[in-house]
Amino acid sequence: MNLFCAIAAAELSVGDLLERANSGIVRDVDEPKVIGDIAVDDEQDERNADPCTSSGCMWPKSSDGKVYVPYVIANHFASSELQVIQRGLDSFSSVTCIRFIPRSNQRDYISIESRSGCYSYVGRRGYGQTVSLDRNGCIYHSTVQHELLHALGFNHEQCRSDRDNHIRVVWENIIDSYKYAFDKIATLNQGTPYDYNSVMQYHRTAFSKNGLATMVPIPNSNVAFGQATQMSQNDIKRANRAASVPEPQPKVNLASSPQKSTGQNLAHQSSLQRHPLVH
């Protein structure tokens, strides 16, 4: 991809990038079953359950209040690609309690690899779990954040349990084989509102068979949505609340009334190597 095309692609929404990267993919026999960009176990019924509604799917909180997620990165990425991936990993540390750390000997970790398309399991699966960032279409800041949020336990915004109050799914415009992408499930909303600007929200014509809208916001059908190129404030809040971490409070003038707190806190190891990038 030349520089002009790379810059143009980087300005696309995460939904556009994922749809392009995962279109027409034929996966290798050793890859997991993938539904859209979500990897699932064979026995998992992805149509009616979010694996993170069950216990044990979230990454554990350490005694210092932070959540450490070990990772390894396959050795087939170019240095420029590693920089994009590392930026995505590091972006969580500045706004959340989540720290992605190079794996030493931890049992559970994410394995970032260039497989067939962009995908991740939802939540902690146990042992090594693949986060696929295909070199051919997935190495963008927004897609890295999107797949990492899946790995942390978050699903797509349009699949939220309360989505029918905020968007209308136009089933007749959806490609039949992609209707699963709009199944409503019990998601981890963490007391945050439906977010049209979430990096987990797909765009208006996602998986359309005729170029017409597959989702329409309600009650105002003209609201823009699905255009995110990075995590929104609500994405950040959810990540912190899921880990039960107090959110930073805005500074207030001591002469004024203090702001009331919300009170709601939120394995293929071979051929892989760690890349402790130096900054």
* Cα-based distances in Å from 137 to 17, 21, 28, 29, 204: 7, 5, 17, 21, 21
Catalytic residue among 147, 157, 172, 247: 147
Closest Cα partner for 58 from 143, 147, 110, 122?
122
Residues 139 and 82: their CA atoms lie apart, in Å, by 9
Residues 61 and 16: their CA atoms lie apart, in Å, by 33
Q: Is 268 annotated as a binding residue?
A: no
Return the ∠ at Cα 151 (arms to 94 and 178), rounded to 5°: 125
Interhelix angle 141-152/79-91, rounded to 10 degrees, is: 50
Is residue 147 annotated as a catalytic residue, yes or no?
yes
Are 169 and 158 in contact by the 8 Å Cβ rule? The answer is yes
Q: Is 146 annotated as a binding residue?
A: yes
Binding site, annotated residues for Zn(2+): 146, 150, 156
Binding site, annotated residues: 146, 150, 156
Residues serving a catalytic function are 147
